[in-house]
Structure 1
Amino acid sequence: MCWDGAVPLRALPRLRTLPVWQQDTVIALGTWLIGLLVYVAGIHQLLGGIDANPLWIRLTELTVLCGLELLRRWVPGGLLLACGVLAADITLGPSLPVLIVFTDFLYAATLYGSRRTSRVMIGIAVAATAAVVVAVAALSAQWRQAVLAALGCLPFLITPVWWAANVRQQRDIADTERANGEQLAKIAELDRQAAVGAERARMARDLHDVVAGHLSAIAIQSEAVLSSSGTNPALARGVLESVRENSVSALEEMRAMIGLLRSAQGDAEMEATAPPRLAELSKLVESARASGLRVEVRSTMDEQGLPAAVDLTAYRIAQEALTNAVKHAPGGRVVLDIRRDGGVLTIEVSNGLRRDRPTAEGTGAGLGLLNMRERAAAVGGTLSAGPSGTDWLVRAELPVEG
């Protein structure tokens, strides 16, 4: 009588929510009451005839066996004790209630035992059924009796073990699916964290480019105007125009970034701001010249044929390199060389090192250099920065195809 199965538990929907010892107590009391009714009705004899044993002996067997139901999850100890009660019952004459309760121990041993125990229980059930059939066939010499014996073993040996094995298989499948679900949830959370980290790094790079590029140029150009003391109005006006242009560009880029942050899908009412490209490199050059640099541009390529990601990356690298030159080598000469050789776009920005602080740029640990390397790596390229003779050289190689 397998009370843990799906059909009986539909009648007792709250049994699963009880503690284990309470579930086993309910099962023990239920089987004892059913067995009591069978004994009182006098239909407990399996071999027919009249039972010569007093009722109290049968009830004692039943009570002991039902008491062992509290140990049904203790495998194989509970099953071995139940086998002892079954042996005593067979000696007195096999009775239906004891045999029915014993089937629950077979069920529990198969379901709650180890995997090895479960496999052994299946083998024992098959072997016991075969042994009963052979024994009956040998004693009765009639094949019909053997068939009846096999059918008699079906509900008491095969069914509880098969049922428990099926429930155990479904439970293992559910546990596996639950574990897989937890692992997928962890992987999804790690992917989410990685995506958030990558997005934060991208936003930090963009913000740094806006702040370090435009605002640094504004600060340096403003200082140049203040130091001129009004001796050259035309120069002062040109520098102020560059300051205004840098301010407007910084505001536009900051406005576009804030708009993207406020709406993940973008606002339909917001004006779309195109990302800067190498075609707008002249603005960077004019801003650097207004800051006091002597910039020489060498470009032998058509910027219109570049992929958008490579075009933006090249622009940002040139912007950051010119900004560093303005900060670390003010008033110096800068050579900006952009060329395309086959499927590789090469950007080189070189400027002379100041003798009073020759290693100002040489540490390579600044955030600007890190951003440039990350941008180059993002499109599959490489970037190097360091002294090259008497100059400081930033060299980026970006693949144009693939």
Structure 2
Amino acid sequence: MLLPRLRSLPVWQQDALIALTTWLIGFLVYAAGIHRLVTAYDHAPLWVRLLELTALCGLELLRRWVPGALLLATAVLAADIWLSPSLPVVIIYTDFLYAATLYGSRRTSRVMIGVAALSVVAVLAAVLVLAQQWRAAVLAAVSLLPFVLTPVWWAANVRQQRDIAETERANAAQLVKIAELDRRAAVAAERGRMARDLHDVIAGHLSAIAIQSEAALSMPDAKLAKAVLKSVRENSVSALAEMRAMIGLLKADGGDPETTAPARLAELAKLVESARASGLQVRVGSTVDDGVPLPAAVDLTAYRIAQEALTNAVKHAPDGQVDVDVSFFDGVLAVEVRNDVHHPYRPADGAGTGLLNMRERADAVGGRLTAGPADDGWLVRAELPVSEPR
């Protein structure tokens, strides 16, 4: 519990606590007279040793200032060695080696590792050349070298682990960003799907309602006008039913299959009747019987494409001839809607999303859609792959 609390302190408070603690321990070591490393008697007075200790502990407040603090601490260490090496100064100096390796730049850290390695060779070589009693000198050098190697090696390992942790945090942050982008893309895709569904459900029915209402107002025959108004009502009821089904799917995770079931190609006859009530002459060619198993997505896509194509024909080829053909061959469901309009449908007319929605729907199930002039009319053809049942 104590260590996490200390780490939560501000940096300057941590360094001040280190400085105070080291000064107290050093004072006790000097007062006990166990600070000598080489000579049996210390010729320097106690106040000089305490002055060195105070100066070095004061520099602990600047231990993260690299390399300035290390250079000043080295000067204090040199003075201590000149007087006679003492244990508190040597131990405190190791913290400056540790701080310079950990908090310095990458270049400084590499330099510290190189200096620590070279110091081993340099100290041993100097001892062998200058010392008269070489065995005692080598033993003393070997005893002092860990004070240089250990803090540098330790700080290098701590720095490596810290860099690894920072890299992992950066990777985690990138994964969070990627997940957020994926979520936004999924939301955008879902909004696009909802927009297509709303367009197909509402635009088709409302277009038929508008055209049929206008036709009913201009019909002198009351019986014929009544038939048209009946078709208007059917389109209104269908639009409301599909809208309720869509809202039910959006409001709840599950729903009643009877009220939320999507439109199917088997209901193509209703679309044809609505188009005929709008004034089109619709001829239906071959259709797919109920024995052919169609995946729900393909079934709905085929229905929506036929609905959109008939809606476009009502808008752009009123009172014209339309041929509808649905066929299934070699694992492919083909939907063709041909009208006798003599100019291509331009998306600039009206909302301009009909062809785009049809193509997106076909692409979503792995199919393709073509729309353009054919002979002396306009043809919309969708080819939707159907997986063979196993």
Alignment partners' CA distance in 1, 2:153 and 2:362: 63
Alignment partners' CA distance in 1, 2:372 and 2:62: 77
Counterpart amino acid of residue 245 in structure 2:
A
Which of 76, 86, 107 is the aligned partner of 2:77? Answer: 86
Of 185-194 and 327-336, deviating more is 327-336
CA contact (8 A) 2:100 2:112 kept: yes
State the match for 2:277 in structure 1.
290
Counterpart amino acid of residue 89 in structure 2:
V
Shift of 1:134: 5.4
CA contact (8 A) 1:362 1:386 kept: no
* TM-score (norm. length: structure 1): 0.86
State the match for 1:236 in structure 2.
225
CA contact (8 A) 1:217 1:323 kept: yes
Q: 1:67 aligned to 2:53? A: no
CA contact (8 A) 1:73 1:108 kept: yes
The CA deviation string for residues 286-319 of structure 1, in whole angstroms up to 9 with x for no partner, is 1111111101122254463333212211110110
Q: 1:118 aligned to 2:109? A: yes
State the match for 2:33 in structure 1.
42
Counterpart amino acid of residue 296 in structure 2:
A
Change (3 A) 1:60 1:141: closer
Alignment partners' CA distance in 1, 2:4 and 2:127: 42
The CA deviation string for residues 334-393 of structure 1, in whole angstroms up to 9 with x for no partner, is 112223443433322222227xxx566464771222211211121222223333453222
Of 63-72 and 102-111, deviating more is 63-72
SS of 2:326 mapped into structure 1: strand
Shift of 1:194: 0.7
Shift of 1:202: 0.6
Alignment partners' CA distance in 2, 1:12 and 1:179: 26
CA contact (8 A) 2:101 2:156 kept: yes
Q: 1:170 aligned to 2:188? A: no
Shift of 1:249: 1.9
Alignment partners' CA distance in 2, 1:400 and 1:12: 66
Counterpart amino acid of residue 196 in structure 2:
R
CA contact (8 A) 2:368 2:384 kept: yes
Counterpart amino acid of residue 153 in structure 1:
L
Of 131-140 and 70-79, deviating more is 131-140
SS of 1:24 mapped into structure 2: helix
Alignment partners' CA distance in 1, 2:284 and 2:4: 82
Alignment partners' CA distance in 2, 1:362 and 1:49: 101
Q: What is the aligned residue count?
A: 384
Counterpart amino acid of residue 276 in structure 2:
R
Which of 303, 307, 310 is the aligned partner of 2:295? Answer: 307
Shift of 1:225: 2.2
CA contact (8 A) 1:134 1:146 kept: no
Give percent identity, aligned residues only.
Answer: 69
Q: 1:331 aligned to 2:323? A: no
State the match for 2:142 in structure 1.
150
State the match for 2:200 in structure 1.
209
Alignment partners' CA distance in 2, 1:328 and 1:271: 35
Change (3 A) 1:12 1:308: closer
CA contact (8 A) 2:365 2:385 kept: yes
- Equivalent residue runs for 1:223-262 within 5 Å: 223-229=214-220, 231-233=221-223, 235-262=224-251
Q: 1:32 aligned to 2:20? A: no
Which of 299, 307, 332 is the aligned partner of 1:344? Answer: 332
Which of 255, 259, 265 is the aligned partner of 1:278? Answer: 265
Provide structure 2 residue ranges, at least 5 long, that are not aligned to the other structure.
none
Provide structure 1 residue ranges, at least 5 long, that are not aligned to the other structure.
1-9
State the match for 1:200 in structure 2.
191
CA contact (8 A) 2:347 2:353 kept: no
The CA deviation string for residues 94-123 of structure 1, in whole angstroms up to 9 with x for no partner, is 011111110001100111122233233233
Which 4+ residue blocks in structure 1 deviate beyond 6 angstroms?
Answer: none
Change (3 A) 1:352 1:228: same
CA contact (8 A) 1:118 1:165 kept: yes
Of 211-220 and 188-197, deviating more is 211-220
Shift of 1:163: 2.0
Counterpart amino acid of residue 88 in structure 1:
A
CA contact (8 A) 1:328 1:361 kept: no
Shift of 1:135: 5.1
Of 330-339 and 236-245, deviating more is 236-245
State the match for 1:3 in structure 2.
none
Alignment partners' CA distance in 2, 1:35 and 1:370: 82
Q: 1:321 aligned to 2:312? A: no
State the match for 1:4 in structure 2.
none
Counterpart amino acid of residue 173 in structure 2:
E
The CA deviation string for residues 211-251 of structure 1, in whole angstroms up to 9 with x for no partner, is 1112221222222222213x251x33433332333222222
CA contact (8 A) 1:133 1:147 kept: no
Alignment partners' CA distance in 1, 2:338 and 2:167: 60
Counterpart amino acid of residue 106 in structure 1:
L
Counterpart amino acid of residue 247 in structure 2:
I
Alignment partners' CA distance in 2, 1:322 and 1:341: 23
Alignment partners' CA distance in 2, 1:173 and 1:345: 55
State the match for 1:6 in structure 2.
none
Query: Superposition RMSD on alpha carbons, in Å?
Result: 2.6
Shift of 1:92: 0.7
